Structure 1
Amino acid sequence: MSDTPSAAPVSFAEFPAVSTAEWQARLARDLKGQDPATLRWPLPDGFSLEPFYHREALEALGGAPAPLARAQPGWLNLPTIAVPADTTGHVQIEQALEALQQGADGIHFELAHCASFDLAYLVERLPLARTFIGYTVTEGADKLLTRLLEIAPGTMLRGFLRYAPPAVPEGAELSDYRTALRRLVALTRAMPDFRPLAVNGAFFGNRGATTTQQVAFSLNTAAALLHYLPNEEVSLAEVARALHVHLAISPSYFVEIAKLRAFRRLWATLLHAYGLPADGAASLRIHAATASWTQTTLDPHTNLLRHTTEAMSAVLGGADSLSIAPFDSVFAESNAFSSRLSRNLSIILREESGLGRVQDPAAGSYFIETLTDQLAREAWALFQRVEAAGGLPAQRGQLLEEIKEVAATTFKRIATGQQIMVGTNRFQNHQEHFSFHPKKLLRSAQFDTTRAAYPTEVLRLATAMHFERRERKSKRAAVVLLGTNTNQLILETFVRTLQEQERPEIANSHPEGTFSLLFSSPEEATLMYASPEQFTRFARFIYQIPADKQHFIPPVLLSSDLPTMQEAVRVFGFQEMKVQGYTTEEVLARLQGRTA
């Protein structure tokens, strides 16, 4: 139209260009002598991020990388529903149907025992040809798929299968599983929208691996599958097409965006290394899930906030499907309220925030493009190191040991307050009333003790139990296993609460590698330590476990009548940890922000 005003070009020509060196000079001047290096953000991966990035950062990359395209826009909202062992799954299938009616795009079933899962009822209630369904199983994956195809012959399945045997949860590497995995590929070779082979990178992420380790070790897993599975029955190209990736997403917002982008780029490199078309990276399906590693039992509604940033990172980073855990999944049975919140979180990000309308929205960002490149380079170097040492499965033990070391460092940083977990070690709700019973939770075999916050949580829960026992004047006593070397973390945390002139001295420090314990009697609480052997023999005595029973894992919480417990603690040689001038109860009360 003639009256439509023409848009004027925006050039900002009146503003002179400013180089990185000029920005750095201004930064040094404003800091008034303080070292600009103090503003850097050190990552656990071994490198630091700068306080600002400039267009010259893209020049260092050889120009802005091309945006990462995906086969489909947006992402699938995929709630995860656990199906307990020895159940037909009817209740869970009905939950899945309701979730699909209320905005979910598909369902991810985690099957504890797939033989009892009623596939006929599943086929009756859910239209498989139109419904995206993921299945995680610990056994009989090929049998499950065979049964499913027999019940629904000719159906073109949509979704994925993750076969995660307990002995080898990161990719079914051993020869025992190769026949089953090849059969999965053969059964679904004519189903382009069903991926039966999983690279379970979430296994690494949910045990505390750094971002670099998660990407590298996932690539090592994929390389093992590409190396060992192809034979005269299934080709290399068929194995590659059957693969998809599971990744756990933590609250580190920008790093997680870059992680997914780096992984997709490195997937192209991996395919090229095997002589496959690199453009297959665009069709790689990445399933992201909120990390169990960062979930907490203390102030649990903060998990909703963590899940929000995790979900945003996942979808902005290019995830194809997303599972958001209920905020209370660590300590509560599945329930409609928290399941609805987790399902709606993804819907809000899509329908109200519009995050699925742009592919690769991080493309061109000076910061995220540089971070993506750094993560990709570091992860590829680590991947090559593992491959040069024999790859998987040969290096599996070494990989797990490296993750364990990183996780131990994270435990210590959280326990001593150097790394903040809101509501757990900072900004706690000291008047919090638990919606669960601490004793039952600690005794539960399902309680996830591998999470980052666990050492801090168990101390808080054990202390709460002690104060409750004392108020009720209970005549029983308890010993709670706090973890390995937790006494030292307790001491460091306690010292941080004191004024300089109040700083205590350690009368006895427990040796490296010993278990930390809290002995709670009706009158007092005492921090103690014992060797793993001492604690195991103690637990066997308390629960009257015969010595010839080989496979016995001591529970976290042991309780008995007071005289028996006192005598057993003495006989088995538990040692008290002492803080000069303070009783255990005073230490615990101060840490909990309450009066002893």
Structure 2
Amino acid sequence: MSKALFNNFDEVSSKQWKQKIQMDLKGADYNDTLIWHTNEGIDVKPFYHADELDVTTNPSFSKATEFEICQSIFVAHTQKSNAKAIDAISRGAESIEFIIPSEDVIIKDLLKEIDSTSTPITFKLLFLSSEYIKTIPTQNTTIQTDIIGHLAKTGNWFKNLNDDHKQFESIVKHTNTFTVNAGLYQNAGANMIQQLAYTLAHTNEYFNHLSSLIEFSNKEILKVIINISVGTNYFFEIAKLRALRILFQTLSSEYGFNSNCQINVTPTKRNKTIYDYNTNLLRTTTECMSAILGGANNITNLAYDSIYHKDNEFGERIARNQLLVLKEESYFDKVDNPADGAYYIESLTTQLCDKALELFKDIESNGGFLSQLKTGTIQKKIKESASKEQAQFDSGELTLLGTNKHPNPQDKMKDNLEIYPFVKINPVKTLIEPIIEKRLAETLEQQRLNQEQSTNK
């Protein structure tokens, strides 16, 4: 084609578009009618235009075509977990995450007949032991270590600050890897600005510590893994992951560390429900789509029944197949960075970066992430955000279909709960107040369960 399309048409500026919209509103206020205000303090406009972008958009360097489908396996029994991993690989899993609860697990037996050269293996340890790490082969394997994440979630170090940091140093020197488990913040109710800023501040604590070690010289090959959760705010979640990568590159370059991080994504638990549970499939599907388009390296889907059922073959197979359908039948593996150049997403990405960086600087100027965890500032801010979101759910402003809108009164669940799906109260002494994960629907679901029980009496 010798001529570009639409060359005969005059360009229309954003100002002209707005004037036309204002005219069509017939007196209604543009801002009140069409501007959507988010909990992050971002005003979402009805349209976006190239002349409103502050800077020319730069291409992102992540590749949507290279995302891996991960199967997560909790190792309660070594032989059974080994068999489950082999089966998952044969059914489409491209990487395996083993969650190791104790040092009793023998790695050699766990990896029997698994070719780690073709299938990347991740070991997520629920304990801290630099000696145990040495039993894990290094070829195409990753070991996840996050002592600060453990402190934030449980309120305590594994042992104490000094011992944990010594173990951490030893593990990082051996593996050239550390992990930031940032999914906690989303699952506890933090808004997106907080999620990004807290993840950055969390990472900065490790960068600060490693930079202070004279003998640590592996800056350029250090691999940082960020585990993060995504919700159903589709375009915002795409922008959040893009912003995370930009912010990490900005921070790591200041220290001289490797500017590429690995982003592992799991759908959030916060919006999942036990009633009308099949809607969880719809939620996780859009969440996985956001993860792919946002540039996730590794995606572990959440089974639709994971909050109330024990691990089961059906739920795990469906979760894995959701990703397989997206990859092999919906062609999500055919185009790299399809979100690049979309004015709306580019604008969201820029705003999330700017606001998160501002909050990060505030955290650092007030003592840093660890200091604010100890004073309870981080916990307080997350609670405030979670309470605001909870109020929106309770009032119906935020909808979970089948739970606070169009619930099915015939849906009964009290005899279908294999695991306790609500916040557990564990009265133990902690060094700091832990950050507690809580689903939006918990109180409403407990009321419905109580009604079921009273009806059957």
TM-score, length basis structure 2 = 0.90
Question: Are the structure 2 counterparts of residues 287 and 125 from structure 1 closer, same or farther at C-alpha, using a change threshold of 3 Å?
Answer: same
Residue in structure 2 matched with residue 351 of structure 1 by the alignment: 328
Structure 2 CA distance for aligned equivalents of residues 459 and 185 of structure 1: 47
Residue in structure 1 matched with residue 164 of structure 2 by the alignment: 177
Residue in structure 2 matched with residue 167 of structure 1 by the alignment: 151
1:103: Cα distance to partner?
0.3
1:142: Cα distance to partner?
2.3
Question: Are the structure 2 counterparts of residues 296 and 178 from structure 1 closer, same or farther at C-alpha, using a change threshold of 3 Å?
Answer: same
Question: Are the structure 2 counterparts of residues 29 and 175 from structure 1 closer, same or farther at C-alpha, using a change threshold of 3 Å?
Answer: farther
- Identify which of 124, 139, 143 aligns with 2:131: 143
Residue in structure 2 matched with residue 51 of structure 1 by the alignment: 46
**Which amino acid in structure 2 is aligned with residue 104 of structure 1?**
A
Secondary structure of 1:199's partner? strand
Residue 99 of structure 1 pairs with residue 93 of structure 2? no
Residue 133 of structure 1 pairs with residue 125 of structure 2? no
Higher mean alpha-carbon deviation, 164-173 vs 115-124, is at: 164-173
Question: Are the structure 2 counterparts of residues 143 and 157 from structure 1 closer, same or farther at C-alpha, using a change threshold of 3 Å?
Answer: farther
Secondary structure of 1:114's partner? coil
Secondary structure of 1:25's partner? helix
Residue 26 of structure 1 pairs with residue 20 of structure 2? yes
Residue 62 of structure 1 pairs with residue 55 of structure 2? yes
**Which amino acid in structure 1 is aligned with residue 189 of structure 2?**
G
Secondary structure of 1:159's partner? strand
Question: Are the structure 2 counterparts of residues 55 and 444 from structure 1 closer, same or farther at C-alpha, using a change threshold of 3 Å?
Answer: closer
Secondary structure of 2:103's partner? helix
Structure 1 CA distance for aligned equivalents of residues 241 and 23 of structure 2: 37
**Which amino acid in structure 2 is aligned with residue 188 of structure 1?**
T
Q: How does 1:277-296 map to 2 (within 5 A)?
A: 280-281=258-259, 283-296=260-273
**Which amino acid in structure 2 is aligned with residue 167 of structure 1?**
L
Residue in structure 1 matched with residue 305 of structure 2 by the alignment: 328
Question: Are the structure 2 counterparts of residues 371 and 440 from structure 1 closer, same or farther at C-alpha, using a change threshold of 3 Å?
Answer: closer
Residue in structure 1 matched with residue 216 of structure 2 by the alignment: 234
Residue 466 of structure 1 pairs with residue 454 of structure 2? yes
1:69: Cα distance to partner?
1.0
Structure 2 CA distance for aligned equivalents of residues 104 and 213 of structure 1: 32
* 8 A Cα contact 2:188 2:437, kept in partner: no
1:354: Cα distance to partner?
1.5
**Which amino acid in structure 2 is aligned with residue 140 of structure 1?**
L
Question: Are the structure 2 counterparts of residues 120 and 70 from structure 1 closer, same or farther at C-alpha, using a change threshold of 3 Å?
Answer: same
* 8 A Cα contact 1:415 1:455, kept in partner: no
* 8 A Cα contact 2:269 2:439, kept in partner: yes
Higher relative contact order (Cα pairs below 8 Å, separated by 6+ residues)? 2
Structure 1 CA distance for aligned equivalents of residues 68 and 414 of structure 2: 32
* 8 A Cα contact 1:248 1:290, kept in partner: yes
Residue 398 of structure 1 pairs with residue 377 of structure 2? yes
* 8 A Cα contact 1:200 1:247, kept in partner: yes
Structure 1 CA distance for aligned equivalents of residues 413 and 66 of structure 2: 38
Question: Are the structure 2 counterparts of residues 360 and 42 from structure 1 closer, same or farther at C-alpha, using a change threshold of 3 Å?
Answer: same
Residue in structure 2 matched with residue 426 of structure 1 by the alignment: 405
List alignment gaps of at least 5 residues for structure 1: 1-6, 150-154, 190-195, 470-596
Structure 2 CA distance for aligned equivalents of residues 99 and 440 of structure 1: 23
Question: Are the structure 2 counterparts of residues 441 and 140 from structure 1 closer, same or farther at C-alpha, using a change threshold of 3 Å?
Answer: closer
Identity of aligned residues (%): 29
List alignment gaps of at least 5 residues for structure 2: 427-435
| The structure with more radius of gyration | 1
1:306: Cα distance to partner?
0.4
**RMSD between superposed Cα atoms in Å:** 2.5
Secondary structure of 1:226's partner? helix
1:334-390 Cα distance to aligned partner (Å, 9 max, x none): 111111110011111111111122221111111100010000000000000000001
Residue in structure 1 matched with residue 139 of structure 2 by the alignment: 156
Structure 1 CA distance for aligned equivalents of residues 454 and 75 of structure 2: 35
Structure 2 CA distance for aligned equivalents of residues 312 and 180 of structure 1: 37
Residue in structure 1 matched with residue 433 of structure 2 by the alignment: none
